[in-house]
Structure 1
């Protein structure tokens, strides 16, 4: 039976990158945690480290949130056993591919994880969040939400959904005890594949790069202060301003040049890896960030 006096923060996509940084930031603030990740992510290792380091309660589940039944099962498990006062919808999939060359499963998984899982977790946990004196929802979007992006196509569309969904929900809950925020980060240095893509970009783009720890610290601090839209980093705030200032056609033209270059870097990186002996091949699973 759950203890209503013991509050938890639920974080999805918590094993690596920004999700892991969220877990460490919240643990440092003495928040009890429920962490969700993809299967076979060794999440329990992180959980035990957080328990020992910060003397908090941490519960973990490794599961695939692209499956509808799994999302509903996780929601039921959480609401039955825990009192959650903070929901951080972080799990998501991104990447750079030509749309017509993209695998159907890749596109479907991106839509189901970035949109459906976030939406349904929010819907199922919201009645419980509203019962508390104060509670928080933080949905992770992206600067890409503010413009169409060639060679990414589906990803910015899903992040635009996250952004607009969050702003609309915030308005609905304005007079309630639930604070709703959306995080729109720029490029994040998370793993080797992302590093390869970013390092092939211009000097200006590189100025916008932030670490997961930097973003998590800013995001949690501003969320707790009730900030609606959180854009971490001065360069990303400048980028967001100019994205909204120029025409959509101009944004698409610039995005085509940037991400066509990124796609080329990804292809060259893949070609180089394919020439390595099999024992040097990196793990090809998609990272939820």
Structure 2
């Protein structure tokens, strides 16, 4: 029997990177948590640490959100057992690859997780949020949402979907008790793979890098203040301004130069170091790789 006086924040992709930072930031604010990630990502350990450190209630589920039934089952479990007033849709995958070289399953997983899981979970949790006096939805997009990006192709397209979906939903819920917000960060040092790719970029791009902890701190603060669009950090805000200012064809030209070089370095590295191994996306499928430019 759920307690209407005990409110929870639900965070997807909570075991690593930005999702973990969200969990810690919300716990620091004494928000009870429901965390979700793939199995075998030490979510139980994180949940126990947060529970003991911050004296809050923490529950977790480990499941694969690319599976539609898993999304529905998780949403039913969460709404049947908990009073939820905040939803943070953070889980996502992405990377740099020549589209023709990308495994179809990899592309499908990206679409199912970044788009379908986020959309379905929002829809299924929304009736619960509407029962609260005040509630919040935060969807994690990216600066990549503002422009096509060659050699990423699907990833920025999914982030553009998240951005436009969130702004549309915000307008629909404007007169309700629910604040809807989209987060558009630049590059984040979420894991060693992302760090390796970012470190191979130009000095200017490196200036835009922010830690997951700082982004989570800014995002939660502005979410609770009712901000609609959050672009954390001065450099990311400057980048967002120029992305919108520069003609699209020029953006595509620049993106091609940057990420073609990154893709070439990645393929050389994989040929040398990963012979006989599974592709990286299969080794760490659905780990949170939020907002990679």
Aligned residues: 286
1:132–1:177 CA contact under 8 A, matched in 2: yes
Paired position in structure 1 for 2:98: 98
Q: Tell me the distance in 1 between the aligned counterparts of 2:148 and 2:231.
A: 18
| Structure 1 gap ranges (5+) | none
Paired position in structure 2 for 1:34: 34
SS of equivalent to 1:152:
coil
TM-score, length-normalised on structure 1? Answer: 0.96
Q: Tell me the distance in 2 between the aligned counterparts of 1:185 and 1:109.
A: 22
Tell me: higher relative CO, structure 1 or 2? Use CA pairs within 8 A at least 6 residues apart: 2
Q: Tell me the distance in 2 between the aligned counterparts of 1:114 and 1:159.
A: 8
Q: Tell me the distance in 1 between the aligned counterparts of 2:271 and 2:192.
A: 15
Paired position in structure 1 for 2:84: 84
1:196–1:269 CA contact under 8 A, matched in 2: no
1:129-161 Cα deviation digits (max 9, x unpaired): 111110000000000000000000000000000
The structural deviation recorded for 1:265 is 2.6
SS of equivalent to 2:216:
helix
Paired position in structure 1 for 2:8: 8
The structural deviation recorded for 1:275 is 6.7
1:73-121 Cα deviation digits (max 9, x unpaired): 0000001000000000000011001111111110000000000000011
The structural deviation recorded for 1:260 is 1.0
1:28–1:54 CA contact under 8 A, matched in 2: yes
State yes or no: 1:184 paired with 2:151: no
Paired position in structure 1 for 2:72: 72
User: What is the 5 A alignment of 1:1-289?
Assistant: 1-274=1-274, 284-286=283-285, 287-289=287-289
2:190–2:288 CA contact under 8 A, matched in 1: no
Q: Tell me the distance in 2 between the aligned counterparts of 1:265 and 1:215.
A: 28
The structural deviation recorded for 1:262 is 1.5
1:75–1:125 CA contact under 8 A, matched in 2: yes
SS of equivalent to 1:238:
helix
Instruction: Tell me how large the CA RMSD over aligned residues is.
Output: 1.6
SS of equivalent to 1:87:
strand
Q: Which sits farther off after the overlay, 256-265 or 195-204? A: 256-265
| Structure 2 gap ranges (5+) | none
SS of equivalent to 2:209:
coil
Q: Tell me the distance in 2 between the aligned counterparts of 1:90 and 1:197.
A: 21
The structural deviation recorded for 1:268 is 3.0
1:129–1:135 CA contact under 8 A, matched in 2: yes
